[in-house]
A and B are shown apart, each in its own frame.
Chain A
Amino acid sequence: MPHEIAIERVDAWRHRIRRDERRGMRTDVMVYAGESLLAHIRRNLSLEQAMNVATLPGITGPSLAMPDIHQGYGFPIGGVAATEVEHGVVSPGGVGFDINCGVRLVRSTLGAQDARPRMRELITQIFRDVPCGTGSEGFVKIRAPQLDQVLVKGARWMVENGYGEARDAEFAEAGGALEGACPEHVSERAKERGLPQLGTLGSGNHFLEVQYVEEIHDREAAVVYGLEEGQVVVLIHSGSRGLGHQVCTDYVAIMNRKMADYQIKLPDRQLACGPIRSEEGQAYLGAMCAAANFAWANRQAILHFLRGAFRRIFGEGARLDLVYDVCHNIAKRERYEVEGRKREVLVHRKGATRAFPAGHREIPAAYRTVGQPVFIPGSMGTASWVLVGQPGAMQETFGSVCHGAGRLMSRTAVKKGRDARLETRKLEEAGILVKSESRDGILEELPDAYKNVDEVIEVVHHAGLARKVARLRPMGVIKG
């Protein structure tokens, strides 16, 4: 069992682990959680991992633990760490293997009452049109030279090549493509793994959910995002597939080889890092941007096939518009005031979402009056949330909030003694149709495996990091 870490209560929503708790920590750990979530969090190694992150050279501000934090490998999932660009490090493990794993929310012109009677048909059609599950190959057939263009242009490449509408790329974080992508720093192996997987959902916790807007909490923001009660929306969760996994694999190994040269010693080799200004640091960031762009292209292709499925079931009048697309696993250069000085930092978000408030110039003009939309998927049987970024996030968390409900039970533990058919029927009785390529896919992602998403949302809402806009309820779920 993990040893008892000394945690002090700051207020109802914040707890702190001081930097003198363990040798080597360069900064405090700030945990965004109330008492009951903290009790869950303390049951695994996630806070130890957040303390390990606090040892990274050049870390600035606290090592941040979001309320959905759970044990990962190296970094915790639900962690945020900013490092100084001039003297700090970049850690590929601090972004994770699924580079730019993220979610996009799509709004429809349909009401829940119109869609529910045809939900089985719709889910079956989507399952046919959007490749998902293990070993699936995408319908976007491209060759190696085109892949390099995808890695530079991201979602824009998809739109330019017929897989989307002109406004789609604008309504994604960074316009659906990070600048600074270097396909030449992406290995041939990574490209080989990624090439057949473009436009596929993947498996594990990746999903596509047809939902409806159950409650509106912030009418002004909801109107700006085009959301209203009873409206059908779709949440897509996917990432950079094998391409991103291989990029991270390659660079964690490189950083592990080079760390001794930079006299960097860390408590966990999965945290392996190198100076941002080093050759390896720059190569990784170029490759990471390319993988992030692949992920945006991937989610864009999925949206394109989803539109086709909706048209087949509901006719040409059924429109789908992208609300926004946010990433969960990324490192980005951003400017913040730290200890009274404006500084450029590299924000590692590992299972965390950017949450910029109103007025930020990186938000699409149409949303700038209210702030950036943030989407927090819960588990498939509960709810998901739309939030809006608040100024508190800029002051405290490097413009970041949580990314989900956070896992509570291991995949093997949740499966024990359960039958997929029975669980599927229970969900159906609750008005949620589930389709998955595998029984394990359903069982591993059952609601019991996750923390209560509403409790997670309460924390970021009351801590002033992001405000509730709308609660979404699932109707049809496709598990990868």
Chain B
Amino acid sequence: MEGRSFEILEHPADIGFRAFGGTLAELFANAALALLSIADEPGGVEGRQEYPLEAGGSDYESLLVAWLSEVLYWFDGKRVGFREFRVISLEPTRIEAIGRGEPGHGAKLIVKAVTWHQLRVAATPHGWVAEVYLDI
């Protein structure tokens, strides 16, 4: 891959990111880390606990929105910050993963939701790429 896991995208009112991955599993994990880089307070996360995460969709795009919404729910609803994600299984309609992190995390920025706006998951000659916009 191009040596980076994600980059931030500009939007007139909101914010987005482009995530990369050599595999789809890596792409989904990096997209979740991109989301948290925008939302979570600085200072790092200890990977003290494991949290089982899952989401369903009808294709990779809808699965990505569902997956990121799952991570956002744990972060905004349960204040869990994540350090890393290990994808256990990934099909176009279902993802199961383990998130390693800790409770008690506050937000740097309130991310309201993951949008479907200009949503893209694509295979390139160098690996997978996804573009996602967030409502902030």
Q: Does B11 touch A at the CB level, under 8 Å?
A: yes
Q: Which of A392-436 touch B at CB < 8 Å?
A: 407-413
Q: Assess whether A245 is in contact with B113, with CB atoms less than 8 Å apart.
A: yes
Q: Which of B1-39 touch A at CB < 8 Å?
A: 8, 10-15
Partner of A269, one of B11, B15, B61: B61
CB distance from A258 to the nearest CB of B (A): 10
Partner of B73, one of A77, A93, A189, A272: A189
Would A71 and B77 be within 8 Å (CB), given that A268-B117, A270-B117, A411-B136 are in contact?
no
Would A77 and B13 be within 8 Å (CB), given that A135-B79, A256-B116 are in contact?
yes
Question: Which residues does chain B contribute within 8 Å of A249, judged by CB atoms?
Answer: 69, 113-114
Q: Assess whether A410 is in contact with B13, with CB atoms less than 8 Å apart.
A: yes
The stretch of B43-51, B102-110, B122-130 in contact with A is B102-110
Partner of B109, one of A189, A410, A440: A440
Q: Does B91 touch A at the CB level, under 8 Å?
A: no
Q: Interface residue tally of chain A, by bracket?
A: 35 or more
Assembly CA distance A407 to B65 (angstroms):
26
Q: Does A336 touch B at the CB level, under 8 Å?
A: no
Q: Mark interface residues in B68-108 (1 if CB within 8 Å of A CB, else 0).
A: 01000100111100000000000000000000000000111
Assembly CA distance A257 to B116 (angstroms):
13
Partner of B12, one of A71, A135, A268: A71
Q: Does A357 touch B at the CB level, under 8 Å?
A: no
Partner of A97, one of B8, B73, B113: B113
Assembly CA distance A410 to B11 (angstroms):
6
20 residue pairs of the A-B complex, CB under 8 angstroms, read A70-B12, A71-B13, A73-B118, A93-B115, A96-B135, A135-B107, A193-B76, A193-B77, A203-B107, A203-B109, A204-B109, A204-B136, A245-B113, A246-B73, A269-B61, A270-B116, A272-B116, A410-B12, A411-B14, A411-B15
| A-to-B contact residues, CB < 8 Å | 44, 70-74, 77, 93, 96-98, 134-135, 189, 192-193, 202-204, 242, 245-246, 248-249, 252-253, 256-257, 268-270, 272, 407-413, 438, 440
